[in-house]
Amino acid sequence: MSKLDRFGAPVSHHDQADIDVFGQAAELMLGFAPDPVGMIKEVLKKSPDFIMARCFLAGVYLIASDKRRQPLLHQQYAELCKLADRANAREKGHIHAIGLWVAGDLYGSSQAYADILNDFPRDIVALQYGQQTDFLLGSASSTRDRPARMAAHWSQEDPQYSYILGMQAFGLEEAGHYAAAQALAERSVAMNPKDTWGVHALAHCLEMQGKPDEGVTFMTSCEEHWGHDNYLSIHNRWHLSLYHIERCEFDETLAMHDAHMVVTPKSELMDAHDSAALLWRLNLDGVDVGDRWNPVADKYAEVVDQAYMAFTDLHAMMSFAATGREAEAQAQLAALETAATQAGTAGDIIRIAGLPLVRGFHAFGRGEYAQAKQLLSAARHNSHLIGGSIAQRDVINWTLTEAAMRDGDTATVRALIAERTLMKPHSPLTDMFTRRAA
């Protein structure tokens, strides 16, 4: 008889101890806590034919935005193909989703993860990996809709319910349903204060509604729960920093960067993105960040020719532009131009949005503000294609505003400030830009 994992989804494996470890690892992953990958690797050493554990490990590599993980994904997929005839329907769904990603059909893969939920609404792993693909692909409506497929099969009786609510809240927020999103995020955090994705969803709600005071109060009040021992702590500190920037509290922002966000050779790219995005915003606000860019640019120099996730490329270009590393910038542009001619989702995204945006930031760094303005204006409404959140991609609007300012195009600056004021009527940061434009 088929066994179930701790969430109630079927697994073809029969060793209960292995299945228990899989469940523990999946739950750690939901909390972005260490170290589910290490646990799964240990299980696979003992039981290399544990298909769902291998799907879990492959998914970790699939949702990594670092192309250096792709060979590991391909390796796991090859192993899964050998085991596929023993897989149950749920596991076949995972193998199908992984295979589509390996083949370069990233949108197809994302939808395949959603389709698993039709028959297996208790597959919280498929939900989490699927929502991460939505994030990588900037698919706001899917981020919203995916949890809805299975939410009716969960209730507050489930120990993991806060994670469902947190994912629902983030999806609703990215799709612009701020009131509903905030209500769910608050429930998620009340239910489980350590649910760092729930905290993150609430941070997004407050950011997008222009509520930096509430944001600082909330994030500092529960920092003990989200600020340590999880893979989202740096990103959640980035959100706290955004509130400080919105209040023009630049010294606080720099202090938080230096205390928690300095890039090291061991940093993951997602952490480098937070450092780069913060330093770039501070530069736009006229803050001298000293030599803080150097370790960030060193990190991105390792991946200068990836041309895989355009969101990574945009942040890499920020670091090259800020440090004047023209050789790296040119190498990156050449890699993107090649990738833009290639078939597959990544090439399509780079061609439509990634390359124009990276070129725009490159032009900005070289002081070619009219060129930057033209490139960023043309591409910014397709910028969701490069992935990340709306809050993260707001840096594109700010860079365009500054380019227009430096180009002497006051009319465009006024128009962009009017756009921003619609969403954030009371912002000291916007006021500062308005004074400069005047």
Q: Which is nearer to Fe ion, 253 or 389 (CB)?
A: 389
Where does this chain touch Fe ion (CB under 5 A) — which range of 75-83, 150-158, 384-392, 422-430?
Answer: 384-392
CB of 170 to Fe ion, least distance (A): 8
Which residues have CB under 8 Å from 327's CB, separation 6+?
Answer: none
**Euclidean distance between CA atoms 178 and 360, whole angstroms:** 30
Residues in the chain: 438
Bridge partner list, 11? 3
CB of 95 to Fe ion, least distance (A): 30
Q: Which is nearer to Fe ion, 173 or 313 (CB)?
A: 173
Restricting to residues 45-104, name those near Fe ion by CB under 5 A: none
CB of 383 to Fe ion, least distance (A): 16
For residue 85, give the 3-state DSSP assignment.
Answer: helix
CB of 391 to Fe ion, least distance (A): 6
Where does this chain touch Fe ion (CB under 5 A) — which range of 99-107, 240-248, 286-294, 385-393?
Answer: 385-393
Where does this chain touch Fe ion (CB under 5 A) — which range of 306-314, 344-352, 389-397, 426-434?
Answer: 389-397
CB of 238 to Fe ion, least distance (A): 7
Two structure tokens written together for 219: 């994030």
Restricting to residues 97-136, name those near Fe ion by CB under 5 A: none
Residue 110 near residue 93, CB atoms below 8 Å: no
Q: How many residues bind Fe ion (CB under 5 A)?
A: 1
Q: Which is nearer to Fe ion, 237 or 380 (CB)?
A: 237
**Euclidean distance between CA atoms 292 and 288, whole angstroms:** 10
Where does this chain touch Fe ion (CB under 5 A) — which range of 305-313, 339-347, 383-391, 414-422?
Answer: 383-391
CA 299-371-308 angle, to 5 degrees, is 35
Where does this chain touch Fe ion (CB under 5 A) — which range of 189-197, 388-396, 412-420, 421-429?
Answer: 388-396
Where does this chain touch Fe ion (CB under 5 A) — which range of 26-34, 86-94, 371-379, 382-390?
Answer: 382-390
Q: Which is nearer to Fe ion, 312 or 389 (CB)?
A: 389
Q: Which is nearer to Fe ion, 347 or 387 (CB)?
A: 387
CB of 244 to Fe ion, least distance (A): 15
Q: Which is nearer to Fe ion, 383 or 389 (CB)?
A: 389
Helix (H) or strand (E) holding 14: none
Q: Which is nearer to Fe ion, 203 or 385 (CB)?
A: 203
Restricting to residues 206-225, name those near Fe ion by CB under 5 A: none
Helix (H) or strand (E) holding 10: strand 10-11
For every residue of 18-51, DSSP letters joined together read: HHHHHHHHHHHHHTT-S-HHHHHHHHHHH-TT-H
Two structure tokens written together for 134: 């939505």
Q: Which is nearer to Fe ion, 47 or 275 (CB)?
A: 275
Q: Which residue has the tokens 């390792």?
A: 302
CB of 200 to Fe ion, least distance (A): 6
Residue 288 near residue 309, CB atoms below 8 Å: no
Where does this chain touch Fe ion (CB under 5 A) — which range of 214-222, 282-290, 386-394, 413-421?
Answer: 386-394
Two structure tokens written together for 171: 């999806």
Q: Is 324 left (phi over 0), alpha (psi -120 to 50) or beta?
A: left
Radius of gyration over alpha carbons of the chain, in Å? 22
CB of 158 to Fe ion, least distance (A): 25
CB of 22 to Fe ion, least distance (A): 28
Where does this chain touch Fe ion (CB under 5 A) — which range of 18-26, 275-283, 294-302, 381-389?
Answer: 381-389
Please give the residue whose beta carbon sits closest to Fe ion in the complex. 389
Q: Which is nearer to Fe ion, 154 or 218 (CB)?
A: 218
Binding mask 331-370 for Fe ion (x = CB under 5 A): ----------------------------------------
**Euclidean distance between CA atoms 40 and 26, whole angstroms:** 9
Distance of alpha carbon 253 from the chain centroid: 21
Q: Which is nearer to Fe ion, 389 or 430 (CB)?
A: 389
**Euclidean distance between CA atoms 146 and 318, whole angstroms:** 32
**Euclidean distance between CA atoms 347 and 339, whole angstroms:** 5
CB of 135 to Fe ion, least distance (A): 9
Q: Which is nearer to Fe ion, 13 or 281 (CB)?
A: 281
Q: For the stretch 74-93, what's the b/e string if a residue is b when 16 or more beta carbons lie within 10 angstroms of its beta carbon? A: eebbebbeebeeebbebbbb
CB of 426 to Fe ion, least distance (A): 22
Q: Which of 38, 11, 16, 13 is nearest to 25 (CA)?
A: 38
Binding site for Fe ion (CB under 5 A): 389
